Structure 1
Amino acid sequence: MSFSMTGYGQSSLQFGGYKITFEVKSVNHRYCEVVLRMPRDWMVYEDVLKRKVQQHIKRGRVDVVINRERDEEAAAGLVLNQAAVKSYLQAADTLQESFGLIGELSLRDLLSLPGVMESREGTAGLDPVSPEVLSERLEQGLDQSLQSLMEMRVREGDYLGADLEQRLSHLEKLHEDMVELAPTVVSEYRDKLRQRLGELNDGTFPFDEHKFGMEIAIFADRCNIDEELTRLHSHFEQCRSLLRGGEPVGRKLDFLIQEMNRETNTIGSKCNHLTLAGCALEMKAELEKIREQAANLE
């Protein structure tokens, strides 16, 4: 099973008089980078929530946004704390007089300040809860959005994996063609060289079979691609094994693709055969497409 690095998940929960929403999205990245944005007074839970993300995701940039809005039902029972408002206004006047600061508190600013709105029972804002309970609920909500994100990453990863396996099959077909053509390179060269020498020989020089054989042996050694073809076959098998496994494969695939490119370049430079060179060129083009797709895998 392959996992894409692209995904999106969302969840929400009601807690302590607030509606808390969790939004998680991930994109391609070389490493695992978690960026978390949430209310300032909850930043104490940042490390715990980042570790929760890292339990699910091993690679990619993950943006986590946690918002809270006062629950409508809870807000219906709120009353204005006029004493708190007066205290805030007096503090603002003192700051202006003492430090020469410029600016005024708007209605929105006042309503967002702690203690300005209270429940009818006298409890302000968020219902008092222990840090442990709040941390547990935040982890629970984040976990739900991560599950949604992982489902999307799995679907996208399955699509990418199927596409890569199809492209690997094309590479294997090209590899089979190369294996069949490789033994004919030397024999074709030998026949063409013998024919050319026969056409050039006007009887002024003797034909030396020994030197001819040495020339063919040197050519055969120089254009031999058996080792490169064997390594390519091994790389194909490793790629399939990675795609069908359950571990992150992006970096390993990237390394294998580099190795396959290296072997293909060597074949192209050594083969000295038009059809083989064409196969190598087509293989390089397909490897580039595989590299682009593999860059999206975790």
Structure 2
Amino acid sequence: MIKSMTGFGRGEAKDIERQFVVEIKSVNHRYNDIVIRMPKRLIYLEDQLKNLIKEYIKRGRVEVYITLENIGDTDTRISVNEPLAKQYIDCLKRIKDEFSVLDDISVSLVSKFPDVIKVSPKEEDEDAVWNCLKEAVSNALQKLMKMRASEGVKLAEDINNRCTYIADIVNKIENRSPSVVLEYKQRLYDRIRELLDDDVEIDENRLSMEVALFADKCSITEEIVRLKSHVDQLKKTLKESHPIGRKLDFLIQEMNREINTVGSKSSDLEITNYVVDIKSELEKIREQVQNIE
């Protein structure tokens, strides 16, 4: 089953201390480009996140938005630097005794001295953080992949229908091709009759040689065979389960090359119109393929 590169998913997860909300969107891109926006305190998890996403997504630009809310204890810890506070108090006592200062030493006074009260981030259980975040990301990825798969089904159906239409036109070109040579022979014969007197005998061998040269010059048998082969390969590729975007792009390029050759070899108006129809369909398929993983 093919997958589109366009999708969106949202996932949530929480434990006793934190809650994660993750939103992931993906769009078409030539390579696998992952951009993650999350709180700075989670930067150490970036590589793990990218590896997780790559398990689901092989191609496309992926943008991940992560928000974190603390629902347990505060994420900071306040502590007292007791040795330092003791030194401040001892200094204040010496000043009081030495200079007979009457003012009392208060807690509010000591707490204002630098580094007596220290505010530091709470140490987190990294495994717990990762497990909670992984759950939220996995939920978002599953929803995103479901959306990508759903759109992929529609893309495959559209491309398959266009391939069937192209195959029908190729058959019409193949059926028309022999008539082009016969019509050329008849036109050549009639033209010679117009230019020569009726009593002049036409050299049939010479006429046959000219027709043979024309037939060889405008032969599109090889191109028709390759076009049919490419159409079959394209249809089979649509049923493959692994990423097929690059392969489809290559097949479309080859089909374009073959049909261009057919157009350059043929001087028949009907075949030329068929060529235009196929090129139009190939362009529509190419646009669809740009969004397939």
| TM-score normalised over the length of structure 1 | 0.81
Aligned to 1:264: 259
* Partner Cα distance (2:146, 2:76) in 1: 43
Structure 2 vs 1, CA of residues 28 and 279 (structure 1 numbering), >3 Å: closer, same or farther? same
Describe the superposition over 1:243-283 as per-residue Cα deviations: whole angstroms up to 9, x where unpaired: 11111111111111010000000000112211011101111
Aligned to 2:151: 156
Aligned to 1:196: 191
1:41 positional shift? 1.4
Aligned to 2:38: 38
1:231 positional shift? 0.2
1:198 positional shift? 1.1
Structure 2 vs 1, CA of residues 286 and 270 (structure 1 numbering), >3 Å: closer, same or farther? same
1:23 aligns with 2:23: yes
1:209 positional shift? 1.5
* Partner Cα distance (1:30, 1:65) in 2: 22
1:194 positional shift? 0.7
Aligned to 2:47: 47
Describe the superposition over 1:187-229 as per-residue Cα deviations: whole angstroms up to 9, x where unpaired: 1111111111112212586522221111001000001000000
* Runs of at least 5 residues in structure 1 that lack an aligned partner in the other structure: 93-113, 116-123
Alignment of 1:222-237 (within 5 A): 222-237=217-232
Alignment of 1:116-131 (within 5 A): 129-131=124-126
1:280 aligns with 2:275: yes
Structure 2 vs 1, CA of residues 3 and 80 (structure 1 numbering), >3 Å: closer, same or farther? closer
Contact persistence 2:28–2:291 (CA under 8 A): yes
* Runs of at least 5 residues in structure 2 that lack an aligned partner in the other structure: 82-107
Higher Cα Rg, which structure: 2
Aligned to 1:98: none
1:81 positional shift? 6.5
Q: Which segment drifts farther, 62-71 or 279-288? A: 62-71
Paired residues, number:
264
**RMSD, matched Cα:** 2.8
* Partner Cα distance (1:264, 1:217) in 2: 23
1:17 positional shift? 2.3
* Partner Cα distance (2:38, 2:111) in 1: 25
Of 277, 282, 290 in structure 2, the residue corresponding to residue 295 of structure 1 is: 290
Give the counterpart letter for 1:231 in structure 2: R
Give the counterpart letter for 2:55 in structure 1: Q
Contact persistence 2:34–2:63 (CA under 8 A): yes
Alignment of 1:75-86 (within 5 A): none
Of 233, 239, 251 in structure 2, the residue corresponding to residue 244 of structure 1 is: 239
Deviation >3 Å, runs of 4+: 77-84, 86-92, 203-206
* Partner Cα distance (1:67, 1:220) in 2: 70
* Partner Cα distance (1:7, 1:237) in 2: 29
Of 131, 141, 145 in structure 1, the residue corresponding to residue 136 of structure 2 is: 141
Give the counterpart letter for 1:167 in structure 2: R
* Partner Cα distance (1:88, 1:158) in 2: 67
1:167 aligns with 2:159: no
Aligned to 1:217: 212
Aligned to 1:14: 14
Give the counterpart letter for 1:176 in structure 2: N
* Partner Cα distance (2:44, 2:179) in 1: 71
* Partner Cα distance (1:218, 1:90) in 2: 103
